[in-house]
Amino acid sequence: MNDNQRPTITIKLKPYLQEYLAFELRSNMASKRNLIGILIHKFLEYMPSDVQPDFSKGPEYITFLVPFFEDINVRGNLWISPLNQQIFEQFVEWHFKQVFFHYMNDKVRLYRSFKKAILQFCADYQFTMNYLNYEMLKKDYYRKRARKKSDKDIPLCVAGINPQYPVIYTLIN
């Protein structure tokens, strides 16, 4: 089956998170084996009959090709509710920050410069710097380091995600 016959799902997501996902996935294809496909599968629901389909377009929306799952008919009238879209975005943002924080911890020791490490992160993850800037990343890293030093760990879960989804937790541990 070629890609133009696959079902799609459109999700509202911050542009810099879209760039991050584009780099992580290397395509717009969600699969059963990547983070996005696993999350989408958990958040797909049948659209209630009283809700009108919303075919939103714009820079804050991203469309994924959805894989076929045995337990759900993806060709049906499926959607991801606004609440689940919010949780999805929070998880992707949390994942991005985890990757960034660990990357920075490693590279700051190597480069001995926050600026070089942040710029290298942007280069490695192919950020265009249209939606993300150096100051934002620097402040985020400083805040996370300060919290880490005061023995406040980075949370290992995202508010709203049910711990009954063991697949999500095995990915990050």
Question: How large a percentage of the chain has pLDDT more than 90?
Answer: 8
In this predicted structure, what is the pLDDT of residue 90? 92
Residue 82 lies in a domain: yes
Question: Is the full-model pTM beyond 0.85?
Answer: no
Residue 55 lies in a domain: yes
Rounded to whole angstroms, how far apart are CA atoms 53 and 63? Answer: 15
Distances (CA, A) of 153 to 98, 143, 167: 11, 12, 22
Rounded to whole angstroms, how far apart are CA atoms 136 and 134? Answer: 6
Q: What is the pLDDT of residues 26-44, one digit of tens each?
A: 877 777 787 788 888 788 8
Exposed (0-12), middle (13-18) or buried (19+): which is 133, by Cβ within 10 Å? middle
3-6: long-range pairs with CB below 8 Å, 24+: 3/29, 3/65, 6/65, 6/66, 6/67
Task: Name the residue range of residue 77's domain.
Answer: 3-90
Residue 126 lies in a domain: no
Residue 16 lies in a domain: yes
Residue 44 lies in a domain: yes
Residue 62 lies in a domain: yes
Q: What is the pLDDT of residues 66-96, one digit of tens each?
A: 777 776 776 667 788 888 889 989 999 999 9
Q: What residues of the chain score a pLDDT lower than 50?
A: 168-173
Residue 38 lies in a domain: yes
Q: How many domains does one find in the chain?
A: 1
Rounded to whole angstroms, how far apart are CA atoms 44 and 64? Answer: 13
Helix 82-111 and helix 114-124, axial crossing angle in degrees, nearest 10: 130
In this predicted structure, what is the pLDDT of residue 173? 41
Residue 8 lies in a domain: yes
